[in-house]
Each structure stands twice: as C-alpha cells, then as structure tokens.
Structure 1
Amino acid sequence: MAEEQSPPAGPDLTQGIASTDFSGATLLGHVGEHEVLLVRSGSEIFAIDAHCSHYHGPLADGLVVGHSIRCPWHHACFDLRTGEAARPPALNALSVWQVEHEGDRIFVRRKREQPKSRGKRPVDAPGKIVIIGGGAAGLAAADMLRRQDFRGSIVMLSSDAAPPVDRPNLSKDYLAGSAPEDWLPLRPDSFYAEAGIDLRLKSNVTSIDTKARDVIVANGGAIPYDRLLLATGAEPVWLPIPGADQPHVHVLRTLADCRAIIESIRGARRAIVMGASFIGLEAAAALRTRGIEVHVVAPEQRPMERVLGPEMGDFVRALHEEHGVIFHLGDTVAAIEGKRATLKSGSVLEADVVLAGVGVRPRLALAEQAGLKMDRGVAVNEFLETSVTGIYAAGDIARWPDPHSKDNIRVEHWVVAQRQGQTAARNMLGQREVFDAVPFFWSQHYDVPINYVGHAEKWDEIAIDGDISGRDCLLKYKSKGRVLAVASIYRDLASLQAELAMEQALSR
C-alpha cells in the first residue's frame, strides 16, 4: 500500500487569513497541496515556496533579511521578489505566489509568472570564458555567467568522468545508502547543452599560456580564452605506507571513488577509517549506518579538536562511540598487508575495507606553471583575481583577503567554493564585486548536524551557550574578545543570526 502523505501545513491561503492572524515575520500555509510561506518584509508581504530548493529545509524556521529569506539548515538565501537563489548552496529558484489583499484579509491563489533575474548586465563582456574544474566553484561560475545574461562561449574543462555532483552527499547520505544516485547531479545532463556550456569531461589540462591566452589540453590542442577561472579544487592525500595501493584501500573525493567504496563494502564486515577528519568521520557514520564495524585510527588525541575545540571534540567522539565506532587515537596505520593493518603502536587490525580520510591538498600545479603568485595556495585579491590580469581563482586553491578574520585565508568548504565561483563569474563580467561572504560549512554525524560560520584558526576563548552533550548548543570562538567563528548544534536560527552579525560588523 502506498504511504499516505501528510496534509499540507497551515491554513488554506486560497480561503484567506485575517491580517491580524499574521503578526510575525512568516506564516506557513498552503495552496492546494503546495505549502506556501507568507513573509513580511517591512510593510510588504510576499509569498514563496515554503522549502529550500537545496535539501528541502523549512524556510518558516529561517531568517528574513531585507527582501530575502535564509534557509536555517545550510544558509542558502532566496530573493522574496523573484524567488531567485541568491546564495548557495541552493542553485534553483523557488516559485513566487501572488498576494492579494481584500479588505482585512490576505489571499494567495496562484503562482506569479517567474520574474526575470535582477542580475546586472555584463559591464565588460568578454567573448570567451574558460573554466578549469568541474566542482562546486566551476559549476557555480558557469551557472552564474548565464544567469547574468553572458552570451559568449563558456568552456568548462573537468578532469572528472562525471558531470558536477553534490560532493557533500558522497560522504553522507549517498554513502550511507539513504540517498539515491539521481539526487547527486547538481544539474541534469541536458542543462549544459541547453545553457550553452561546453562541458568537457576527462579533460587533462597540461598548461596555461598566459601570453597567448590559451589553455593547453592533452590531446585537445589549445583553447583560447579572454577570461579564465581556475577552480581545480583539491585531491585526497594518500599516505605513503606499504600496501596503500591495494584495491580495497580507498580515498573519497569523486563519485567514482564513492561507487568503488560502495562496491567494496558489499558483504564486508569491518572497515578501517584512517583519519578523524570531517570526511573520515562522516564516512564512519555512513558505514555504521550500513551495519559495518568501523575502527577509526588517527594521530590526534581528540577528533576535530583543531577546528571545533576540546569540548566539541569529546562530544563527537562520544557520539560515534554511542553508535559503535571504535577509536584508536594517538596512533597511525604503518602498513597494510592484505586485510591486516599494522599500527605504529604494534597493534594489528583486520579489515575488509580501508578508507583514507587524512585530508586533501590543493591542486596548484597549473597555477604554479602559469607563474601566478602563490601563498600556500593561489593568491587572489578581494575580487578573486590572481596576479595575472584576466585570470581568477576560486574554491579550495584560492587564498583571499578575508575582511572578517582580517587575514589571508584559504578554506576548503563546499559553500565557500560555490559563493566564490559566483563572485568570480560576476567579476569576469566587469562588476568588481568584493568577495566578503562569511565562510560556512556543515557536517552531519548520524542525526546530529554541526553548523559552523566564520573562520578561526586559533582562539583564546570558547564561550559555550547551552549543553553540548544535550545536542543544543552554540559555541563562540573568540580572540581578544572578538568572535571569529560560531559552531552550533540545533541552534539554526542563532547560527543564521551569527552569520548576519558578522556581515553587519563590516559596515560599522
């Protein structure tokens, strides 16, 4: 028997509601089977789809800022007037609905025709744009170029075998078996041809000729460009240990990597995860969801302590131990012989599958070959332009002047890469937009989400509000009294408010 669907929430907006019944910032109702959110912005009332187009987050629990609303889960942002996805991780627009006032009642009966984007027309439109990279930054840039009405050619060169996918899902729901593969593509295959984006997969770029303005592709000749975006991302670190090249030893970065792990764990009983990083522990949670015994081997004494601090690190360890993960901390894998892994301490673990989650390194070879200025990454200015005019960098490789931390930083976060890709796209069209977005990432461990805004490489105080072990908390990472970053568990609105406060601090 088909599962019964829950009726849509809230009042039937086609029957109208009294103005006095809508006193807050939002009100959730429905039109037929569609859940619709009424949103008050100043003296205006808007109606918009009630759920984020990213992971279906409930916008009723979000934050209204001017003519926009922000999703509580992963901080996507939508324009209330147009429905446009103004900030990643959401890329798809929402429907907007017609609000009608009759006497003292508010009605919503029909969708409005989708308004056109309010994006600026190109100021200095080049003819040819080339994007090197098929990840978060590259796709976001190509998509934004077309949203900005750029009509020149876009060539997108990806070394991957698959079109751009939702990489965060690879270590979370997809690996756990709770998300189908058709959720992964960021855009349908038809999108690229329809948008006029020449996506070339399995493309190995060998060099960049900055004088001739050509990108040289192995077996593909020279591709000319007027503007170039480097979005080459990062690659997993392979530990130089005996046996790491065996077929049951994996890294997790691409869809192909994830497919190989899923195939490798069919019938597996035990897995070793090397590294207690975000990717490593998310993968550990996914494997435990599949019923596989998981051993985590890592050199640190607490997982995630460097980023989240000791209290949150202890919580993360306890959470995984509650779910049966066995930790071997202060230790490393010294060698893998068949299914036997020998640790530096001398202990031996048997495992059917080994996953190396010990971090990534930025892919910098092309930038170095091209003679771009380097600074533990590709150095860019506030507009994400490199030391060579017309060449931009975004994502894992870019080190930019961050106005929030007041330092030059490089951040390996999915949402940061997407937002940089969009800013770089607008700047390649001459808009000169400063990249000043507050860094954001989220991590998922079983049913516990951890949100993090800002950037703190070091701090002298962690102010804890709430109860970490009770999974209801907000942590502020401070240096000399100034809040650099905020981590939270189930404090979604407070996380959005912390992000907004950091943005507003720039204008003071």
Structure 2
Amino acid sequence: MIKVLIIGAGHAGGSVAAFLRQYGHDGPIVLAGEEDAPPYQRPPLSKAWLKGEADLDGLLLRPLSFYAEQNIDFRPSTTAVSIDPKARTVAFDDGSSETYDILVLATGSTARKLPLPGGDHPDLLELRTLKDAERLKAVLGPGKRLAVVGGGYVGLEAAASARALGAEAVVIERAPRVLARVASETLSAFFTDQHRARGVEILTGAEVTAVAPDGVTLADGSVVQADAVLVGVGALACDALARSAGLACDDGVVVDEQARTSDPTVFAVGDMTRRPIPVHGVHHRLESVPNALEQAKQAAAAIVGRPGPAPEVPWFWSDQYEYKLQIAGLPFDADRQVVRGEPATGSFAVFHLNGDRVVCVEAVNAPPEFMAGKQLIAKATPVEVVKLADMSVSMKAVAAQ
C-alpha cells in the first residue's frame, strides 16, 4: 500500500488527508503539523475569533476524532527539519524520522519581518496562527490602542475587530493608499472611508523607520504610541525545507496542475506554492482558502489516480464591519475598469477588463456581480461595457451575452 506523509497540518494539509480518504486511498496517511491544534480555519482569526464570536471547536475543519476514525495518524507539535529524497525519509526535530512513498508539503507561509531597528522584537505581534490571535486578543479592549503596520486585508480586518472591542486603532501604510498592491483605487478609497468613519486613524505615505512593542517611529520623526503593534506587511512562502531537498523553487515551490513538484514523488499545496493558473495563463503564488482546497483536490486526485478537478477561477474574500468583499480573478492584463453601482450605497462592484473580457471583479455586498463576474472570467465571455455599468441591466442578462 502507498504511504502518504503530509508535512503541514493547516487548511491545505488537513484537506489533502481528508480528500485522500474520500477518494478511496486505503494506505497509511501521516499528517504532521507544527501547531498543537488540529487543522483549523485561519480567516476567522482576524475577525470572529478576535471579537469572541468563535471558539476553537468552531474553527476546526473537522473534529479531532475525525482523524482517528479515518485512520489518519495525526501528529501535532511535530516539525520536519530535513528531507532525504533518495531514501524517501523525513527527519523531525525530536530526532525521529518517517518514511514515505508519496510526500505532500503543506508548510504554508510566514509573516514577513520588518527589516528595521526593532523589527525582530519578540513582543511585536503577527497574525498567522491561533497563538498569534490569542496574543493579539489579550491586548485589545477599551482604553487600549493598536498600531497596525501595513494596510493590507489582514491589517484592516484586525483594525475593524479592534474597534469592535472598544480599542483605538491606527493603520500605518507606506504606499499612497491602503490595499495598494491588491485592490483598485475605488476599493481602497471605499474602505479608507469606512474605517475613518468608525474612528480608525489611517496614515498613508508613512515610512516606518523603527518599531517597538509600544510604538512606531516614522521618517518625519514622529512616534505613534500604542499598547501593542501588529505587523502585517505580507507573507513569505515556507519553502526552505523544499529548497534543501533540491526541489525547484521560485518564491514558493514550483508545482504543476496536479500540485506535483520537480520530484515526481513529492507534491506541494497551499500558500507555499507557485502554481499554474490556467484561466489567466500565468504562474503565481496565491494565499487563500479556495486555493488550498483546489490544490488539495489536485494532489489527492493525482495520488489515487483519478481525474483532477477542473481549473478554478481564483477567488478571495474579506469581511470588514458589515461589508463582505468578494474578489474573483486577477487583474494582471487589465487595461480598464468599470464601476457598477455607487460606492456611497455600500453595494457596488469594480470590473477589471482586458478589451471586452472581464479578468477580475471586486464586489462589495454584491453577490450577483461576484458570481456573474466569476462566470464571465471562467468562460472568457465578451461583454458590452455599457450594459455592464448599467444597474438597470441584470448581471444575468450581462453574462448571457
């Protein structure tokens, strides 16, 4: 029987184990993860978990009993330190080792550190794991002030949660606008307005020169005082283990459409991979739950020898206050934007087009626009721009062109 060893027990790794059993794999499965908790959802950490609206049982992908019931050897608090591809063994930090016929790497990503004075201080906060979220939650509340370095989605979500708990929040962003690397100007302006309306201070074009657990120093010499400092300036692929094993890497482990690496006995899934995205004709590293699930299905299908899933359109989401943002596609080759609806109403969508084809949609409290936009991207359906911008024309009618 084929023995599958999975390194990394996050959303991607845990899903590979579950899909393998669902797809009929009856050989041994070992699932080893660095954290002491079973695979859990990470998106709620910056939202429901911080606000006390979710407990651990609500975060778990599956109850702990699932792994024993499915004969999955789950090993928490277990860190892999090296791979021997020739011997097909993995060594762990406790001195033990494990053999494999098929190895699946799902080591995820790690928070990017600030290359500044104080940037490596252990009391600076990150938000990648359950323990990170517990540390952050402990310092939030009335009378407290949170400084967030980085105006990306995680930082903005944490600021929103801080305000919900009665704490002050200030977001410090080096770029001219928040979400500058990941969203349109229309979307950036909308969320900036929403945060400021709720008392969040947002500083853009602000260069950080030093950080400490109780404050942030800016290039103009001013200091932003805080009770806690959260650093959210992106993430790096955890590909060191793969690199040391000789696997091809390029800002992540390079994989094909089956999630297979340059070694045919090794697969890689989730945040740590640079993968093909057929709908856009590019290779890219994605950090999202839908990506983790899609690649988990790809790897599990390839391992058991069944047809792989159809390629999906990448999609993402963010919850801030009463607004749900849903994004489909990537605006790599967009040459114009069309705004459907009025941002002032709190329900609108920004469509990114290349010629007459939608390549990305950003939808705020607009499920029909998100769903139809995702369909338009998948089918590369040409659209009439005038109708796309006209709210009197339904999205169903737009997509049916």
Distance (Å, rounded) in 2 between the aligned partners of 1:338 and 1:172: 22
- Is the 2:142–2:166 contact (alpha carbons within 8 Å) kept by the matching residues of 1? no
Which residue of the other structure, out of 224, 243, 256, is the alignment partner of 2:118?
Answer: 243
Aligned to 1:336: 211
- Is the 1:268–1:352 contact (alpha carbons within 8 Å) kept by the matching residues of 2? no
Which residue of the other structure, out of 134, 140, 143, is the alignment partner of 2:9?
Answer: 134
Q: Is 1:370–2:245 an aligned residue pair?
A: yes
- Is the 2:357–2:380 contact (alpha carbons within 8 Å) kept by the matching residues of 1? no
Give, in angstroms, the shift of residue 247 of structure 1: 5.6
Distance (Å, rounded) in 1 between the aligned partners of 2:356 and 2:82: 46
Aligned to 2:185: 310
Give, in angstroms, the shift of residue 306 of structure 1: 2.5
Deviations 1:311-364 (A, max 9, x none): 111111111101111011111332235624321221112110111111110001
Matches within 5 A, 1:37-436: 127-246=2-121, 248-265=123-140, 269-337=144-212, 339-433=214-308, 436=311
Distance (Å, rounded) in 2 between the aligned partners of 1:268 and 1:384: 48
Aligned to 1:111: none
Give, in angstroms, the shift of residue 479 of structure 1: 2.7
Cα pair distance change 1:368/1:486, threshold 3 Å:
same
Give, in angstroms, the shift of residue 490 of structure 1: 1.9
The alignment's TM-score, normalised by the length of structure 2, stands at 0.90
Give, in angstroms, the shift of residue 376 of structure 1: 2.5
Distance (Å, rounded) in 1 between the aligned partners of 2:249 and 2:121: 35
Mean Cα deviation higher: 224-233 or 175-184: 175-184
Q: Which structure's residues are more often strand, by fraction?
A: 1
Q: Which runs of 5+ in 1 are unaligned?
A: 1-125
Larger Rg belongs to: 1
- Is the 2:57–2:63 contact (alpha carbons within 8 Å) kept by the matching residues of 1? no
- Is the 1:140–1:419 contact (alpha carbons within 8 Å) kept by the matching residues of 2? no
Which residue of the other structure, out of 321, 325, 340, is the alignment partner of 1:465?
Answer: 340
Cα pair distance change 1:419/1:353, threshold 3 Å:
same
Cα pair distance change 1:401/1:248, threshold 3 Å:
closer
Q: What is the DSSP-based 3-state SS (H/G/I as helix, E as strand, rest coil) of the residue aligned with 1:146? A: helix
Cα pair distance change 1:168/1:456, threshold 3 Å:
same
Aligned to 1:4: none
Aligned to 2:387: none
- Is the 1:395–1:416 contact (alpha carbons within 8 Å) kept by the matching residues of 2? yes
Give, in angstroms, the shift of residue 177 of structure 1: 2.4
Cα pair distance change 1:346/1:481, threshold 3 Å:
farther
Mean Cα deviation higher: 338-347 or 354-363: 338-347
Q: What is the DSSP-based 3-state SS (H/G/I as helix, E as strand, rest coil) of the residue aligned with 1:438? A: coil
Identity percentage of aligned residues: 36
Aligned to 1:502: 377
CA RMSD of aligned residues (A): 1.8
Aligned to 2:368: 493
Give, in angstroms, the shift of residue 441 of structure 1: 0.8
Deviations 1:261-282 (A, max 9, x none): 1122356521100000111111
Distance (Å, rounded) in 2 between the aligned partners of 1:266 and 1:495: 35
Cα pair distance change 1:268/1:205, threshold 3 Å:
farther
Distance (Å, rounded) in 1 between the aligned partners of 2:310 and 2:274: 12
- Is the 2:254–2:274 contact (alpha carbons within 8 Å) kept by the matching residues of 1? yes
Matches within 5 A, 1:12-31: none
Mean Cα deviation higher: 292-301 or 474-483: 474-483
Q: What is the DSSP-based 3-state SS (H/G/I as helix, E as strand, rest coil) of the residue aligned with 1:249? A: coil
Q: Which amino acid aligns with 1:419?
A: E
Q: Which structure's residues are more often helix, by fraction?
A: 2
